[in-house]
Amino acid sequence: MALVSKTFELYGKTYTFEAGELAKQATGAALIKQGDTTVLLTAVVSKERKNYDFFPLTVDFNEKMYAAGRIPGGYLKREGRPSEKATLTARMIDRPLRPSFPDGFRNEVQVVATSLVADQSNPCDVICVMGASLALSLGGVPFEGPLACVRIGRNRETGEFLVNPTYEERENSDLDLELGGTRDFISMVEAGAEEVTEEDMLAAMQFGQEALGAFCDAQLQFIEEYERVNGAIVKKEYPLDEPVAEVHDRIFAHYDEMAAALCDADKLSRMAKVDAVKQAIVAEFTEEEQVEWEREIPVNLKKLEKQAMRTMVVETGERVDGRAADEIRPIMVKDNYLPLVHGSGLFQRGQTQVLSVLSLGMLNEGQRLDTIEPVEGKRYMHHYNFPPFCTGETGRIGSPKRREIGHGNLAERALLPVLPDENEFPYAIRVVSEVMESNGSSSMASTCGSCLALMDGGVPLKRPVSGIAMGLIQEEGKTVVLSDIQGIEDFLGDMDFKVTGTERGITALQMDNKATGLTFDILRRALEQAKEGRAFILDKMLQVIPEPRHETRPTAPRIVSLQVPVDKIRDVIGSGGKVIRGIQDETGASVDIQEDGTVYVGGTGDSVDAAVERIKLIIKVPEPGEEYTGRVVSIQPFGAFVSLLPGKDGLLHISRVAQGRVDKVEDVLNVGDEVKVRVLEVDERGKISLDRIDKPEAPEGSAPSHAERRERADRPARQRRDREGGRSHRAPGDHGQGRTPRRHHEAE
């Protein structure tokens, strides 16, 4: 197998496809590059067919820290559990791949993406999808490929759309849209946006569809080159679960019973009725038949439920809970739900209920990111928890799964554009959404509940955000767009389309689509219907809490920022951090100093004001005319040094310690005395001269005698003559005899 490499340019970026050199024992493998960012994609299909009633696909993203020239943090110094970004990248690969495999495919498929180089300019996530597509194609695996994924940005200034922008270009973009699919079909959408209108979002999606086609064509061209060098790719054949007509007919004979069981607005009651119908149907098969058709029976039972639900919607216009297509379930909203926490909100829509709780902290409490991307951390964190009790089930509670990480990331992206700048609100912000009940669209309930918690906690949001999940049913040539879908409409429908935003525009999108007939006209309808639904939900929220609280909770830390001259940072920190530790220990406040001189002080009660005052005193430079009450810290023959501010002493000359002349400073002042002084002068070196306010009369007997004054005046002259060689001690007429002669250097 020979190495085949192809480099090409699309939309201003350079890409490279390679195959035939690495991972040759995998079913298929491909190396993908954008710029110098390099990812290896491998695909392996098991030889044996699994006895499952679902498609066994697993996708992993191996984030190697050496790709960015870094050593992993932590004690072990090796890669451990995947980061959130790695998990989200694996989901990004999985979502367009999964619906591309044929129904009944039961061989296990594992796709692994391994980051080899991260050039800190080009992200490696979106190129992994076309890498996986290329690996599957080169391995002869049957799927509806080629597939690709593109990221679409938009320049804030020019409005120009960008394809797969660099990290730098993304910083100047008001849109971050990821699209996955084929040249004709969008199967996955993920987006964050700064209140982009529905029209602009649709235009970006149409532009992205064209870009998907270009990358799919590039794969086909590479495959042709690969086959020219290494021979034709042999398409592998894998056995599929073929429908058994007898099983289908016997199960679908109970269509009316299934349709009747589905007509119940209560989720648990409906599930019980559906399960009862299924059990009754299974009981009609003999034990031998159940063994023989152990896969076909559950597959056809699911098809029966799906067909009954979908037909009901398109034929009667009613859904299983009796709602119309654009009708939203009853909404319940409560703010200030928990005492003592920094903010909380309870949001319930139908049988989906989420409690969101806010925590505020210092900026240095934000999340540090140890990934291969250039982003080092974030101040806003949204975490989503989906415990088993929320669906009435038992199960293990452990670390968050991919779904929980994905839903938390969606709610985080939804609220990020409306958060205040850290200069306006210098806090690290964490919101945790606990799903208490779930019957569809818990991620959108998390977005609404989190917005409530932020407003309840006094976070000055630019505008409130609401979210809604849209669905789609395409059956018998008819198309119905559903608002506020519940669980069964998500599982058995054609689309799960989540939209969040403010009254001005969209802040986040997420879509998983199974309908190949999804057109941009249908997407336009869905976006417009979602806009109406978002407005309805937002109105319900604002009836309870119309705007953010004007202050944070008393239990939340109060954080104040101030600016310190850069040359004064060392004074605030002190030797070995002694000064700053002292401020924190004595006041109880937390102090965080940035390299640019910004200082954040946080705490509760009076601790913040006390710490701020201490810092201001440290950086303050006394000015002439200012008055202080200082403490004498040192006494010298010529005067007393008085501490005015932390780290700043001034000299009170002996001539200014009292009215009249004094012999010694100690006659008037002692170390530790408090004295009121006025600043006379601050010279260019920062030395401070002081004058005493309200000078006392000099004590009797303190002034030196005439002889003492003459002796004191004469003393410096004698000392100077001594230093200059003692000439005053030479005898009269002595002109240098007995002295070492000076050396005279003659010119050479």
Examine the pLDDT at 716 and tell me if it is beyond 60. Answer: no
Q: Tell me the percentage of the chain whose pLDDT exceeds 90.
A: 70
Contact 636, 669 (CB under 8 A): no
In angstroms, rounded to a whole number, what is the distance separating the alpha carbons of residues 650 and 627? 12
- Whether residues 196 and 109 fall in one domain: yes
Which of 39-48, 75-84, 352-361, 432-441 shows the lowest per-residue confidence on average (mean pLDDT)? Answer: 75-84
Q: Is 307 helix (H, G, I), strand (E, B) or coil?
A: helix
Please give the single-letter amino acid code of residue 476.
E
Is 651 strand, coil or helix? strand
**What residue type is 379 in one-letter code?**
R
Average pLDDT taken over every residue of the chain:
90
pLDDT tens string 475-494: 888 899 999 999 999 989 99
The average pLDDT across 219-225 equals 97
| Distance set, CA 281 to CA 73, 253, 259, 271, 672 (Å) | 56, 10, 14, 15, 96
Q: Are 216 and 539 in contact (CB under 8 A)?
A: no
Q: If 0-12 CB within 10 Å is exposed, 13-18 middle and 19+ buried, where does residue 507 land?
A: buried
Selected residue with higher pLDDT from 419 and 292: 419
The pLDDT of residue 694: 86
Residue 746 lies in a domain: no
Judge whether 501 and 468 are in contact, CB under 8 Å: no
Domain match, 715 and 598 both? no
3-state secondary structure of 735: coil
Q: Are residues 433 and 536 in the same domain?
A: yes
- Of residues 317 and 121, which shows the higher confidence score? 121
Q: What is the CATH number of the domain that holds 370?
A: 3.30.230.70
Residue 652 pLDDT greater than 80, yes or no: yes
Does 323 map to a domain? no
Separation CA 76–CA 393 (nearest Å):
37
Residue 232 DSSP code: P
Burial 639-652 (b: 16+ CB within 10 A, else e): bbbbebbbebbbbb
Domain CATH number, residue 637:
2.40.50.140
Residues 197 and 292 placed together within one structural domain of the fold: no
CATH number, domain of 285, equals 1.10.10
Task: Quote the pLDDT of residue 730.
Answer: 45
> How many helices (H) and strands (E) are present in the chain, helices listed first?
17, 29
Q: Give the bridge partners for 428, in sequence order.
A: 361
* pLDDT of 306: 92
pLDDT surpasses 90 at 644: no
Say yes or no: 370 and 455 in one domain: yes
Residue 119 included in any domain? yes
Q: 743 pLDDT exceeds 50?
A: no
- Of 206, 230, 254, the residue that ends a domain is 230
The verdict on 532 and 389 lying in the same domain is: yes
How many residues make up the chain in this entry?
A: 748
User: pLDDT at position 515, please?
Assistant: 79
How distant, in Å, are the alpha carbons of 270, 301, 573 from that of 295?
24, 10, 69
Q: Is residue 747 included in any domain, yes or no?
A: no
Q: What are phi and psi of 266, to 5 degrees?
A: -85, 125
Q: Is the confidence at residue 715, as pLDDT, over 70?
A: no
What is the secondary structure of 74-141 as a DSSP string?
SSS-S--SPPHHHHHHHHHHHHHHGGGSPTTB-EEEEEEEEEEE--SSS-SSTHHHHHHHHHHHHTT-
* Range with the poorest average pLDDT among 50-54, 166-170, 622-626, 702-706: 702-706
Residue 380: CB atoms within 10 Å? 18
Q: What is the CATH number of the domain that holds 599?
A: 3.30.1370.10
Residues 524 and 632 in one domain: no
Q: Is residue 292 part of a domain?
A: yes
Domain annotation covers residue 437: yes
For residue 52, what pLDDT band results from cuts at 50, 70 and 90? confident
Q: Is the pLDDT of residue 737 over 50?
A: no
3-state class percentages of the chain: helix first, strand second, coil last, to nearest 5: 35, 30, 35
Closest C-alpha among 139, 138, 137, 115 to residue 127: 115
Whether residues 426 and 494 share a domain: the answer is: yes
pLDDT of residue 575: 85
| Whole-number pLDDT of residue 348 | 97
Does some domain include residue 726? Answer: no
Q: Percent of the chain beyond pLDDT 70?
A: 94
Nearest Cα neighbor of 612 from 599, 628, 594 is 599
Decide if 321 is inside a domain.
no
Listed in sequence order, the residues at least 6 apart from 246 whose beta carbon sits closer than 8 Å to its beta carbon are: none
Q: What pairing do the DSSP bridges indicate for beta strands 688-692 and 648-653?
A: parallel
Whose CA is closest to 589, among 565, 566, 607, 613?
607
Structure-token pair, residue 304? 């029966």
> Does pLDDT of 28 surpass 90?
yes
Q: Which domain holds residue 506?
A: 331-393+400-544
Residue 677 bridge partners (DSSP): 628, 692
For residue 383, pLDDT over 80 is answered with yes
Residue 735 predicted with pLDDT over 50: no
Higher pLDDT, 73 or 512: 512
What is the reported pLDDT for 741?
Answer: 46
264 labeled part of a ligand binding site = no
Instruction: Please say which residue of 518, 544, 570 terminates a domain.
Output: 544
Say if residue 615 is exposed, middle or buried (CB neighbours under 10 Å; 0-12, 13-18, 19+).
Answer: buried
Q: What is the pLDDT of residues 538-573, one digit of tens each?
A: 999 999 999 999 999 999 999 998 998 898 888 889
Q: Which of 412, 475, 482 is nearest to 440 (CA)?
A: 482
Which uninterrupted H or E stretch holds 345? strand 343-349
Task: Provide the pLDDT for residue 742.
Answer: 45
Across 468-472, 647-651, 655-659, the highest mean pLDDT is recorded for: 468-472
Q: What is the 3-state secondary structure (H, E, C) of 370-410?
A: CCCCCCCEECEEEEEECCHHHHCCCCCCCCCCHHHHHHHHH
Distance CA 615, CA 605 (A): 17
Q: Are residues 357 and 460 in the same domain?
A: yes
Count of domains in the chain?
5
Average pLDDT of the segment spanning 322-328: 93
Q: Which residues contact 578 (CB under 8 A, 6 or more apart)?
A: none
Residue 67 pLDDT grade (very low, low, confident, very high; cuts 50, 70, 90): very high
Residue 228 pLDDT: 95
Q: Are residues 258 and 146 in the same domain?
A: no
Distance CA 614, CA 598 (A): 15
In this prediction, residue 719 carries a pLDDT of: 54
- Over 460-472, what HEC string results? CCCCCCEEEEEEE
Complete DSSP assignment for 125-172: STHHHHHHHHHHHHTT--SS---EEEEEEEETTT--EEES--HHHHHT
- CB-count exposure of residue 308 (10 Å: 0-12, 13-18, 19+): buried
* Spatial contact of 314 and 480, defined as CB atoms under 8 Å apart: yes
User: Of the ranges 276-290, 453-467, 502-516, 603-617, which one carries the lowest mean pLDDT score?
Assistant: 603-617
Q: Are residues 468 and 531 in the same domain?
A: yes
What pLDDT score was predicted for residue 704? Answer: 61
Same domain, 312 and 336: no
Is 494 within any annotated ligand binding site?
A: no
Separation between Cα atoms, residue 157 and residue 150, nearest integer Å: 22
d(CA 343, CA 330): 24
Q: How far separated are the first and last CA of the chain, in Å rounded?
A: 85
Average pLDDT over residues 462-487: 93
Instruction: Identify the pLDDT of residue 722.
Output: 54
